[in-house]
Structure 1
Amino acid sequence: MKTVKIHFFGAAGTVTGSKFIIETSEGNFMIDCGMFQGLKELREQNWNPIPFDVKTIGTILLTHGHLDHTGYLPRLLKQGFRGTVIGTAPTLAITEIILKDSGKIHEEEAKKANKEGYSKHAPAKPFYTVKEAESTIGLFKSAELDTWYAISKNVKYRFKYNGHILGATFIELDIFGKIMVFSGDIGRSNDVLLAPPQKPTRADYLFIESTYGNKLHPTESVTEKLVTLINHTIDTQGSLIIPSFAVERLQLLMYLLYKLHKENRIPNIPIFIDSPMGNNVLAVFERFSKWHKIPPKEFLEMQKRMNIITSYRETWETIDAPRPKIVIAGSGMVTGGRVLTYLKQLIDEPTTTVLLVGYQAEGTRGRQLLDGAHELKFFGKWIPVKATVHQIESLSAHADQTELLDWLTDIKNVPEEVFLIHGEPSSLDAFRVKLKDTFNWNVTIPKLYESKEFHF
């Protein structure tokens, strides 16, 4: 009899911080290594070492490059990890950009907090540095889709295309003959930029995300809403500020706006792209053109239509310019990045419109705006919110409940156990009930830091 043990060190009972360590008699490995975002009590746990001897982990498999799946990697190195980090080539390219950018932001925020004295820690220290991020990147090794690779004699894995963002996959594990499937983040069936996700055909044990396990995405017309808000911005001589995730969402928004202008559905309003990380991701899109749907010619035209900001001086020039404008800036949940500078200066203006275009986790400024906050804290100062706040939910890169259920329809066997991960409690419970009603599967919702043993 073989024993396999899974440790849920993230994305259990919460939608963030994906980290799963798998212990086997042939060695230990890990699926994803994300940092917690959102609620303060979760963010504070980022500073705690993982309660596991990470020196014994030989391999980390990444489903995709988002920070909540990769952002803890440099901290793991500090704790002694010296193994290999494996993902698809675009996943590793995006992870490299995100880790370097994140390290720079951590350094800048610590420096600013020390200078202005708004941190409770003296001195404030960066979560990790650019140099530590670069050390992590030295451990990267790319893998192809649809190819089985051996970790040990009786443990192998393969990556399967999953939509969501460039390079994203779900992971199939063959451990002593049992198939374990880790869904990662599942993409949309009708994505503007990406092909539909592949589906698993067998899963003895299934670990599936539940971000939108309790919701269906609206059938709203994204383009009509954009046209309406842009025309309003021109009429009021205001600013339309769109906090955006640098990976996928920013490129999608650029493409949608480019197409609207090309079709003469919006006037020639200045569009500013202010995301150093997003600019780097554009280069990854160009490099891996076969992974997305934008034709190369349109991709170049799209970039020429936008004002790509490359310096902080240009950020301030854009803020000060007294003309209607669209600004797309990171980060998508208003937790950091250049968008904080825009909102600090402009969110108290009634002519400002803020458009949220992605998931807003608990504890983020984006969620506070959605919930109608009358003021927000930026860099230690409270700023009144007089801007109008809108949301487009249907741009989400995550499958909704119907799409999650559809993703499971090709599984030919009955899984021995299904684990719901990467969701807030209400989503997890609703999806548990839906799975039970639809498939009558054995469903478990693991708790954070819980572990589960399998004997086979």
Structure 2
Amino acid sequence: MNTLKCLGSGQEVTGSKYLISGTNTNLLIDCGIYQGQDAFKENSKALSSLGKGSFDGVVLTHAHLDHIGFLPYLVRKGFEGKIFCTPATKDLARILWLDNTKIMSPELAWYYSEQDVKKTLAHMSLHEYEKCFSWNEFKITLYPAGHILGAASPLIEWEDVKIQFSGDLGRDDDILILPPSHAQAKIVVMESTYGDRIHPEALPLKEFSDIFLEAKNSGGTVIIPAFSNARSQNMMRFLEMVFEHFPQAKLPVFVDSPMTMKVTELYERYSKQIKTSASWVKKLKNHFQFVEFASQRKKLASDSQAKIILTASGMLTGGFVMEHLKNHIENESTRILIVGFQSPGTIGAELLKNSLQIEISEQLYSVNAKIHNFTHFSSHRDCLGLKNWLEDQSPAKVFLTHGEPAAQIALKEYLDAHTKHQVEPIILDRTYPLK
């Protein structure tokens, strides 16, 4: 019997996993780890549904750990099937997985090593966008999803079934990544991360300019924590735009994240997926100073000049941003710009709650820096963007996934009012027959 089962990210925004069962083959769409406060409990629970032999192959939508994070562990445990993805997804996955091996505890139930990563990469079968290929009983086509380099919305066809998974859908107005496309599927499994909101239309160019001018006048440091994969590259392009519109606000920009440097190099290789040219990456060093050595980082700590530090991690959970916080957060002239989602329990979330103190490495620091929150930079579509992506299609059924319950309820109500699609939130661990 042809079926669909959600194994993760049903009514939450992490741990994406979906199982398609055909007549003779089981195919997994994404294999992400759970990230957040309940990560240990949820990932331990997920291990039972990902046992050896429960699926024959995997299709990846894109290289974020909440979509790919479990795969090296499964290979470590004996998975020998094919992993289908775009070339850019493989290149990004290599960077993310290898970086993760440096911080994973061997005591974790889903631990994997650098050798496991190499084995996983060897299982990957690479496919370009919109080039249909066959595997067992399935025909598979990867459509551009926007969002990040290599992101795809896979269309899976067999017998009378034609189902497309949106993955994480990028925005038409993303300042760097080209927008998504789609197929004509009968069934669509669509993300709903921001199904309950409309993104701000105008970019905060003037707001950033004002903050930079304040820093210039006070000799302060501006810290911008950002994810190394996609958000940091978007922020570099955005900072260029700020300086183009407001040259008087230009400050030295230091990019302090080895992973950001590695990911940025891929933008030249995959320049056909971005809105700038391949030469844009080469020119970045004219605008930004990339921190490569500890001595440079140490100098930044004692440097009294006004400056911008773009660093990771985006949720302030680790990485070199922690050193910069220690050095600058107690200074009243410091500005910290939050440009991405902050999970509950993270330092980023604490700063947004106006906490007077934060703990770093078991030491308390007073928060004297000024905190600014910007919601303009999401790489996910809002409810209007999701409706527009569906508008040119005529699916008989739309399953909402990858969203909190409130976002899914709001999006369902919006789609019910503005489209004729049959829409329902997908339920975790429920098996749906596909027709």
TM-score when scaled to structure 1? Answer: 0.89
Aligned to 2:84: 86
Matched, 1:165 2:148: yes
8 A Cα contact 1:150 1:156, kept in partner:
yes
Q: Indicate the larger mover: 202-211 or 75-84.
A: 75-84
Write the distance in 1 (CA, Å) between the matches of 2:284 and 2:427: 44
Aligned to 1:180: 163
Tell me the SS of whatever aligns to 1:146: coil
The AA in structure 1 aligned to 2:100 is: S
Tell me the SS of whatever aligns to 2:213: helix
Matched, 1:134 2:118: yes
Q: What aligned pairs does 1:24-423 form with structure 2 within 5 A after superposition?
A: 24-38=22-36, 40-48=37-45, 49-106=47-104, 127-153=111-137, 155-200=138-183, 202-262=184-244, 265-412=247-394, 414-415=395-396, 417-423=397-403
The 1:292–1:51 alpha-carbon spacing in structure 2 relative to 1, beyond 3 Å, is same
Aligned to 1:451: 430
Aligned to 2:417: 437
The 1:85–1:125 alpha-carbon spacing in structure 2 relative to 1, beyond 3 Å, is closer
The AA in structure 2 aligned to 1:422 is: H
The AA in structure 2 aligned to 1:317 is: K
Aligned to 1:118: none
Q: Deviations over 1:101-125 (max 9, x none)?
A: 1222336xx8xxxxxxxxxxxx789
8 A Cα contact 1:162 1:186, kept in partner:
yes
Shift of 1:126: 8.7
The 1:317–1:261 alpha-carbon spacing in structure 2 relative to 1, beyond 3 Å, is same
Consecutive unaligned residues of structure 1, counting only runs of 5 or more, are: 111-122
Q: Deviations over 1:271-295 (max 9, x none)?
A: 1101111100111111112111222
Q: Deviations over 1:284-339 (max 9, x none)?
A: 11111211122233432222321101134432322232222101111222233221
The 1:169–1:455 alpha-carbon spacing in structure 2 relative to 1, beyond 3 Å, is closer
The AA in structure 2 aligned to 1:424 is: E
Write the distance in 2 (CA, Å) between the matches of 1:92 and 1:439: 36
The AA in structure 2 aligned to 1:102 is: N
The 1:305–1:58 alpha-carbon spacing in structure 2 relative to 1, beyond 3 Å, is same
Aligned to 2:11: 13
Q: Deviations over 1:386-436 (max 9, x none)?
A: 221112212111111111111110113x42x32211112221121122122
Write the distance in 2 (CA, Å) between the matches of 1:161 and 1:241: 33
Write the distance in 2 (CA, Å) between the matches of 1:278 and 1:37: 20
8 A Cα contact 2:4 2:434, kept in partner:
no
Shift of 1:178: 1.3
8 A Cα contact 2:206 2:242, kept in partner:
no
Tell me the SS of whatever aligns to 2:146: coil
- The CA RMSD measured in Å over matched residues stands at 2.2
Q: Indicate the larger mover: 20-29 or 374-383.
A: 374-383
8 A Cα contact 1:92 1:140, kept in partner:
yes
Q: Indicate the larger mover: 315-324 or 284-293.
A: 315-324
Q: Indicate the larger mover: 373-382 or 63-72.
A: 373-382
The 1:320–1:45 alpha-carbon spacing in structure 2 relative to 1, beyond 3 Å, is farther
Shift of 1:455: 5.1
Shift of 1:263: 5.5
TM-score when scaled to structure 2? Answer: 0.93
The AA in structure 1 aligned to 2:187 is: Y
The 1:298–1:150 alpha-carbon spacing in structure 2 relative to 1, beyond 3 Å, is closer
Tell me the SS of whatever aligns to 2:170: coil
Write the distance in 1 (CA, Å) between the matches of 2:344 and 2:166: 22
8 A Cα contact 2:73 2:110, kept in partner:
no
Write the distance in 2 (CA, Å) between the matches of 1:429 and 1:73: 31
The AA in structure 2 aligned to 1:272 is: F
The AA in structure 1 aligned to 2:149 is: L
The 1:341–1:156 alpha-carbon spacing in structure 2 relative to 1, beyond 3 Å, is same
8 A Cα contact 2:256 2:290, kept in partner:
yes
Write the distance in 1 (CA, Å) between the matches of 2:210 and 2:40: 37
Tell me the SS of whatever aligns to 1:408: helix
| Percentage of matched positions with identical amino acids | 29
The 1:124–1:148 alpha-carbon spacing in structure 2 relative to 1, beyond 3 Å, is closer
Shift of 1:148: 1.4
The 1:425–1:436 alpha-carbon spacing in structure 2 relative to 1, beyond 3 Å, is same
The 1:377–1:33 alpha-carbon spacing in structure 2 relative to 1, beyond 3 Å, is farther
8 A Cα contact 1:250 1:328, kept in partner:
yes
The 1:188–1:455 alpha-carbon spacing in structure 2 relative to 1, beyond 3 Å, is closer
Tell me the SS of whatever aligns to 2:412: helix
The 1:363–1:405 alpha-carbon spacing in structure 2 relative to 1, beyond 3 Å, is farther
Q: Deviations over 1:137-171 (max 9, x none)?
A: 22222101112111213x21110012111111111
- Number of matched residues? 434
The 1:221–1:145 alpha-carbon spacing in structure 2 relative to 1, beyond 3 Å, is closer
Q: Indicate the larger mover: 272-281 or 326-335.
A: 326-335
Tell me the SS of whatever aligns to 1:46: helix
Write the distance in 2 (CA, Å) between the matches of 1:124 and 1:346: 34
Shift of 1:136: 1.8
8 A Cα contact 1:181 1:203, kept in partner:
yes
Shift of 1:453: 3.0
The 1:317–1:55 alpha-carbon spacing in structure 2 relative to 1, beyond 3 Å, is farther
